[in-house]
A and B are shown apart, each in its own frame.
Chain A
């Protein structure tokens, strides 16, 4: 009997199709539904209006993250509308028997950070959340993607979604990154190579030697930003690094169930000879530490580069977009980015708020001082990470350098909780989006790695972190 070789995506997809009717998208079963306060209230209201209970509260996990204040010991909610959303989530979870990890539970944090930490995120699962950065969980070989609020309602009510089958895109990462170059630079490199819409309609599988060498924290950074090239999801086949991370997580299988799960997880890899709809190659050894100069994550370049000139653009629309972006950013074509003054440095978000990110930032900040006039916020991704960082003494490294060490939350990535830039301010941010106004109305964002963010914190301007390594 001949077996058709399958991709990792094919295997996970096929295992979750409940039904396939003619002229309808397949009905896909969802193993894990993560919810938070901002995109769920209208979904619960829809269920209430129809008199429906949540079908599988045991497959639903809730946290508060977008609106969480991060000032230590003063968890003062921004305003009444924020408080109303938080209270609504609490009430909905109580009414439907959904496990919520509220502030002070010790397990709270950004939804895409706590899912893996708790072991709720597992290889081969289908995972959704009303948040586009759900692709983060694909680092474990899960099929994880963001959905809208109507679909949150569909999953709450039926544990299923109507989903068109996406195409597949293989991203082959080869080579060894140079000093000061890491996962964030790799994904920003991909963004600038294929553009913000370069993977629309596709699920990415990241493959190649450069991926195998990465830690789980680094793999999560890469999968997290799959949406920034328009991809439906990003996946990485689970391996020993993944299994090691999964061991002893609170919600991971244990004992005999672990052995059985492990045997299944080991089959979650793309078969020899399986085909993808498209393939893209990226040699990571050619990358420099990356920075964005524009107003979407595809407008990025190596730190020693010069800001591109709209007159050299490939099309009129590209030239328009670039001119508009440079105008908004207050930058001039042909100039270098290095040396550009920054007002705020933000280390945090579901992209870069895990232990490795904090250790990277600390490695630059240790024994140095933050530049005068620069505000530096360091926001751990979860309460557990905060504890671990403090046990290692990283909090003291940060505060002694002059940075603010905050409580866990989304914070300045989306600027909904009061942590925001002033109009016109420049930030170096380890988050995922440099859209106009993303970090507060009129805010101007340079996306970068935790290493590059820490370098800017020390000098007060965009700086090649490699000049500070081994100094």
Chain B
């Protein structure tokens, strides 16, 4: 997993509440044994017309948005299906950070497994980010848990200690679980 340090980028704004994982990556693209290459189908139903042409109004299709790594989204991002293809598709497109006022539980857990930082901000902070100019830079410092909007003061964002460690050190969660093998055996014997 890619380690996460500091990052600076302009944001892409998709300000819709309750973006479900069926919108992030529709089910017809789940017929794969791979994790890679899903970026081209990210937000497919919003991004492409019925004939497959790019919808020019949609942010991901706009020239100025290319290379941006921060997604600013509406409330309750990632609700619905448990498909990990959602963070795979977001990462594959190039997103490293998603900012919202809240995230769905399974999506939150899946994002963490893939080095995708979710930043939960309050409504006031969200409104500031929404109101900022499209080319305003946002700087993220995970170690300091700070988000800085260009021209503003740094503001602290919450993250639990374990998630922070996973992202900063690229902690291998499966390897970590395996290190508890003797505890697991003991638990099984004690039942």
**Which residues from chain A sit less than 8 Å from chain B, CB to CB?**
18-19, 23-25, 27, 29, 38-39, 41-42, 45-46, 50, 52, 66-67, 79, 81-82, 84-85, 88, 130-132, 146-151, 153-154, 157-162, 164, 166, 196-197, 200-201, 227, 230, 232, 296, 317-318, 320-321, 324, 414-416, 423, 433, 435-438, 441-442
How many Å lie between the Cα of A50 and that of B182 in the bound state?
A: 19
- 11 intermolecular pairs with C-beta atoms under 8 Å apart: A19-B183, A27-B183, A29-B187, A147-B82, A160-B180, A166-B105, A197-B18, A197-B79, A230-B105, A321-B16, A442-B50
A228 to chain B, nearest CB (A): 8
Q: How far is the CA of A111 from the CA of B160 in the complex (A)?
A: 33
- Interface segment out of the listed B5-13, B106-114, B133-141, B143-151: B106-114
Say yes or no for B173: interface residue by CB 8 A criterion. yes
User: Are the C-beta atoms of B160 and A164 separated by less than 8 Å?
Assistant: yes
* B27 contacts A by Cβ under 8 Å: yes
Residue of chain A at shortest CB distance from B190: A18
Partner of B31, one of A50, A79, A296, A441: A79
Closest beta carbon of chain A to B150's beta carbon, Å: 25
CB distance from A322 to the nearest CB of B (A): 10
Q: B82–A150 contact, CB under 8 A?
A: no
- Please tell me which stretch of B32-40, B59-67, B90-98 contacts chain A, meaning at least 4 of its Cβ atoms lie within 8 angstroms of it: B32-40
A149–B84 CB distance below 8 A: yes
Q: Tell me whether A321 and B18 are in contact (CB under 8 A).
A: yes
Cβ-Cβ contact count across A and B, 8 Å cutoff = 165
| A18-B180, A148-B109 known; A436+B79 contact, CB < 8 A | no
Q: Which of B45, B105, B173 contacts A154 (CB 8 A)?
A: B173
12 new A-B contacts at CB < 8 Å, known A24-B161, A50-B174, A84-B31: A18-B184, A39-B30, A39-B82, A148-B113, A154-B174, A158-B177, A158-B184, A160-B180, A201-B105, A317-B17, A437-B22, A438-B22
**B interface, CB within 8 angstroms of A:** 16-18, 20, 22-23, 26-28, 30-35, 45, 50, 74-76, 79-84, 87, 102, 104-106, 109-110, 113-114, 160-162, 165, 173-174, 176-178, 180-181, 183-184, 187-188
Closest to B187 in A: A18
When chains A and B are docked, how far (Å) is the Cα of A85 from the Cα of B30? 10
**Would B18 and A81 count as touching, CB distance under 8 A?**
no
Chain A proximity of B40: nearest CB distance (Å): 15
CB distance from B28 to the nearest CB of A (A): 7
Given contacts A197-B104, A321-B18, contact A160 B160 (CB under 8 A): no
Per the bound structure, the CA–CA distance linking A317 and B74 in Å amounts to 9
Contacts of A85 in B (CB 8 A): 31-33
Q: Assess whether A157 is in contact with B16, with CB atoms less than 8 Å apart.
A: no
Find out whether the CB atom of B18 lies under 8 angstroms from the CB atom of A150.
no
CB distance from A140 to the nearest CB of B (A): 19
